């Protein structure tokens, strides 16, 4: 499989830096995954790039601006990576920006509780960017774990400034900016000490460097470039070659230089296949050496608490049940908590609607205008807001808390074995978690998966996780039709269980789909896998809740305005324009009806899903509008009225199951489809992503319907 066919190249390398003034300096923010890089970025820029306690939160370059003493800085938050030798698409984004994005200064964010491992990237960054500032974050966590970091010594050893910060408490950021400003202002780039490679390698580099500089100019450090030419990584050399305008891999002079150097290295006992080992070992040993002088640990067992928690959360017997219980608990809180605010919102918004209609009547506006704008656009908007907003504003903060705590990598750890059985990657569970928010985000998140094949599987199956727009519909239908089986006070509990079961069906579909794909069109062996289990961190509860309620509100309102309102208008027109004895809507629904019946649905439901392509949020409003002969939504004060409407239109519990199944498994929304196309750079895979879940969903619905028919 070529990188072109799987979109490995899709990562946005062509980042456009948006300077506010010509004197703005560009600062690249690099670091290992999960060191609080995004927190530093947010604290500096005042933006709210989503952060999370697991690798791969930042998959694209985000930028923001900050000022310090009159100097402007454009901060570019690049994806976390362990090394500048890229393994995955997101690491390639990071490396390409650091190496070829011409930042003025690089800031490498490190985790104070795990400095040694972080120093590998620091050393590699300094090799290419002498203007580097090391930002040691999480100083508070280190203090808690009784780890002391000697920053002066670190700075001396590295030959670049080192600043200790605690980004969450916004401590030390001024110092950091001061050092960045000083670093950017220096006329001459500093010359920090180089990592010493084995003697034979050093000799080869000394011979190559002048000739490399002559051929390639000074845009990249000659020593660094010579080392990369020796290593011969094709992807890196191609990027570097494009940047320099020199075909590094085909250039005869460089090639003969390389051959000569490799020969002499081989004679010195370092054959090409061992060269990489020597280079990495030199970096790791240097990091170890620095760390031994800089990090002072008063107490050996500082991991004890985390290990104790892990022994429960990932234990053989309780790991998976606890995971499901947590999910069900989150759903229960969401359902219980969303009930009242939903009612208040809907009462308020529909009161406004009546006033709006009165204003239209008073102004003498034509009926169709009032119908289209008030009963079409506004009513759908109000419906989407009142039904979507409360559950989302409760679910996401809860989920974000779990995320900040560091629980999600444990989910990936618990589930990897099953993904392995499907020849897929355990990190897929992380991208599934992102899919709960938005499938488009989940698809972009798939960049954290190293292998192009496994990444594609994750992209194609991401839609089996119900997103933001589908959740409330699933909650509503399961509550309407099935929670009644539970005695009164336990009903919310029942809906939570049903929803959990439905998510598990989605997870099962993901496994099944992954297995199906990897045994047919995406054959291959599982690739290797490394997953970091970060230290648990206490989430900033207040800040998280505030932030994510705010974010969700904006998101839901934005979607409602951008998609639901225009769609509402369109549906109103379709429901009110009569052609040949029926409305447009009824003609379309009638056309789809025979086919839909085979799937346990009806024409209206299938039409709602088709029209819901731009956004899943509008599927339920369309169904309701179509069922009501008035051609627009009536006031849906309670789920009971809605249920009666559905039952009056022939719904049974089989219909409810099929609608939920189809909602779980059908084509991705248009935004997600566009994102898939952008990520895979292929129409073929976008088509597969559209057809595959649809086929699976239709098969499931058909099966359920046929079985139910025999049984009933």
Binding site for other proteins (CB under 8 A): 82-83, 85, 87, 113-117, 120, 276-277, 280-281, 284-285, 287-288, 301, 303, 306-307, 310-311, 314-317, 319-320, 413-414, 416-418, 420, 426, 450, 526-534
Closer Cβ to other proteins, 120 or 632, answer by number:
120
Taking the complex as a whole, how short is the minimal distance between the CB of residue 115 and other proteins, in angstroms? 8
Q: Which residue's entry shows tokens 């008063």?
A: 298
What contacts 629, CB < 8 A, 6 or more positions away?
Answer: none
DSSP class of 198: P
Best CA proximity match to 667, nearest among 621, 712, 612, 710: 612
Q: What CA–CA distance (Å, rounded) separates 382 from 632?
A: 13
Q: How far is the CB of 493 from other proteins (least distance, A)?
A: 26
**Shortest Cβ 413–other proteins spacing (Å):** 5
Contact 695, 687 (CB under 8 A): no
What phi, psi does 37 have (nearest 5°)?
A: -60, -45
Q: Which is nearer to other proteins, 147 or 440 (CB)?
A: 147
**Residue with Cβ nearer other proteins (534 or 693):** 534
What is the smallest separation between the CB atom of 310 and other proteins, expressed in angstroms?
5
Three-point CA angle 626, 629, 631, nearest 5°: 60
Judged by beta carbon, residue 84 or residue 151, the one nearer other proteins is 84
Closest CB to other proteins among 239 and 544? Answer: 239
Closer residue to other proteins (CB): 2 or 21 = 2
Closer CB to other proteins, 319 or 539, in the complex: 319
Nearest to 403 by CA among 503, 534, 550, 542: 534
Please check whether residue 125 is in contact with residue 261, taking contact to mean a CB–CB distance below 8 angstroms.
no
Q: How far is the CB of 451 from other proteins (least distance, A)?
A: 9
Work out how close the CB of 505 gets to other proteins at its nearest, in angstroms, rounded to a whole number: 20
Closest CB to other proteins among residues 50, 143: 143
CA 301 to chain centre: 33
Q: What are the distances in angstroms from CA 641 to CA 385, 389, 624?
A: 19, 20, 11
Residue with smaller CB distance to other proteins, 188 or 273: 273
Q: How far is the CB of 378 from other proteins (least distance, A)?
A: 50
The span from the CA of 169 to the CA of 172, in Å, is 9
Q: How far apart are CA 452 and CA 220, in angstroms?
A: 29
CB of 465 to other proteins, least distance (A): 21
Residue 76 phi, psi dihedral angles, 5° rounding: -115, 115
Query: Around Cβ 214, how many Cβ atoms within 10 Å?
Result: 10
Q: Where are the alpha helices (DSSP H) in 217-318?
A: 222-231, 234-244, 252-267, 272-294, 304-313
Nearest to 446 by CA among 235, 679, 668, 674: 679
Least Å distance between CB 412 and other proteins?
Answer: 8
Of 120 and 461, which CB lies nearer to other proteins in the complex structure? 120
All residues at 6 or more sequence positions from 14 whose CB lies less than 8 Å from its CB, including other chains: none
Q: 627 with 646: CB under 8 angstroms?
A: yes
Cα 305 to its chain centre, rounded Å, is: 29
Tell me if residue 28 falls in helix, strand or coil: strand
Query: Which is closer to other proteins, CB of 27 or CB of 412?
Result: 412
- The CB-of-228 to other proteins minimum distance in angstroms stands at 14
Smallest distance from other proteins to CB 551, Å: 30
CA atoms within 13 A on the CB side of 518: 27
Closest CA to 286 of 108, 110, 123: 123
Separation between Cα atoms, residue 236 and residue 451, nearest integer Å = 17
Between 142 and 605, CB nearer to other proteins: 142
Least Å from the CB of residue 102 to other proteins: 25
């Amino acid at each position: 499989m070529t990188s072109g066919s799987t979109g490995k190249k899709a990562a946005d390398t062509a980042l456009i830096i948006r300077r506010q003034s010509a004197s703005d300096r560009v600062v690249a923010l690099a670091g290992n995954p999960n060191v609080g890089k995004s927190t530093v970025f947010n604290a500096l820029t005042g933006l709210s790039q989503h952060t999370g306690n697991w690798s791969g939160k930042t998959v694209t370059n985000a930028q923001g601006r900050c000022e310090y003493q009159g100097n402007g800085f454009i901060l570019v938050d690049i994806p976390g990576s362990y090394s500048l030798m890229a393994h995955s698409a997101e690491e390639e984004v990071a490396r390409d920006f650091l190496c070829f994005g011409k930042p003025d200064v690089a800031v490498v964010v490190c985790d104070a509780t795990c400095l040694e491992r972080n120093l590998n990237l620091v050393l590699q960054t300094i090799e290419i960017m002498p203007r580097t500032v090391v930002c040691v974050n999480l100083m508070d966590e280190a203090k808690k774990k009784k780890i002391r970091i000697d920053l002066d010594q670190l700075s001396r050893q590295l030959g670049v400034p080192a600043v200790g910060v605690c980004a969450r408490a916004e401590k030390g950021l001024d110092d950091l900016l001061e050092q960045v400003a000083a670093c950017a202002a220096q006329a001459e780039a500093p010359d920090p000490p180089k990592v010493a490679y084995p003697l034979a390698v050093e000799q080869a580099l000394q011979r190559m460097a002048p000739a490399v500089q002559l051929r390639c100019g000074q845009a990249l450090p000659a020593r660094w470039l010579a080392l990369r030419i020796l290593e011969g990584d094709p992807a890196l050399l191609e990027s570097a070659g494009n940047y320099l305008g020199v075909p590094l891999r085909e250039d005869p002079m460089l090639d003969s230089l390389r051959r000569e150097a490799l020969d002499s290295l081989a004679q010195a006992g370092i054959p090409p296949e061992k060269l990489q080992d020597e280079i990495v070992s030199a970096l790791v040993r240097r990091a170890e050496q620095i760390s031994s002088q800089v990090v002072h640990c008063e107490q050996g067992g500082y991991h004890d608490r985390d290990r104790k928690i892990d022994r429960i959360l990932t234990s053989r017997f309780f790991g998976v049940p606890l995971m499901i219980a947590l999910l069900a608990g989150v759903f229960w809180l969401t359902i219980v908590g969303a009930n009242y605010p939903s009612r208040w919102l809907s009462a308020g918004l529909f009161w406004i609607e009546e006033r709006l209609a009165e204003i239209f009547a008073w102004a003498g506006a034509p009926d169709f205008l009032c119908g289209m704008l008030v009963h079409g656009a506004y009513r759908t908007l109000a419906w989407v807001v009142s039904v979507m907003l409360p559950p989302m504003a409760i679910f996401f903060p809860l989920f974000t808390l779990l995320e900040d705590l560091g629980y999600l990598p444990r989910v990936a750890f618990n589930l990897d074995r099953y993904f392995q059985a499907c020849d897929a990657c355990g990190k897929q569970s992380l991208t599934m978690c992102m899919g709960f928010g938005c499938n488009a985000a989940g698809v972009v998140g798939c960049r954290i998966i190293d292998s192009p094949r496994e990444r594609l599987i994750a992209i194609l199956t991401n839609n089996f996780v119900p997103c933001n727009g589908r959740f409330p519909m699933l909650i509503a239908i399961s509550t309407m039709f099935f929670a009644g089986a539970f005695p009164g006070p336990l009903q919310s509990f029942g809906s939570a269980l049903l929803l959990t079961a439905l998510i598990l069906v989605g997870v099962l579909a993901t496994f099944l789909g992954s297995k199906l794909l990897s045994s047919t069109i995406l054959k291959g062996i599982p690739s290797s896998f490394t997953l970091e289990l970060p230290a648990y961190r206490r989430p900033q509860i207040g800040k998280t809740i505030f932030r994510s309620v705010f974010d969700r509100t904006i998101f839901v309102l934005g979607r409602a305005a951008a998609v639901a309102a225009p769609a509402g208008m369109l549906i109103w027109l379709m429901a009110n324009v009569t052609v040949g004895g029926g409305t447009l809507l009824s003609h379309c629904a009638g056309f789809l009806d025979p086919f839909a019946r085979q799937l346990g649905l009806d024409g209206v439901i299938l039409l709602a899903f088709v029209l819901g392509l731009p956004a899943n949020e509008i599927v339920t409003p369309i169904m309701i509008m179509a069922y009501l002969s008035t051609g627009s939504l009536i006031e849906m004060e309670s789920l009971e009225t809605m249920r009666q409407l559905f039952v009056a239109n022939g719904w049974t519990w089989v219909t409810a199951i099929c609608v939920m199944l189809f909602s779980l498994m059908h084509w991705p929304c248009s935004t997600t489809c566009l994102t898939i196309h952008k990520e895979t750079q292929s129409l073929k895979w976008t088509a597969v992503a559209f057809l595959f879940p649809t086929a699976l969903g239709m098969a499931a619905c058909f099966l359920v319907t046929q079985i139910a028919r025999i049984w009933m």
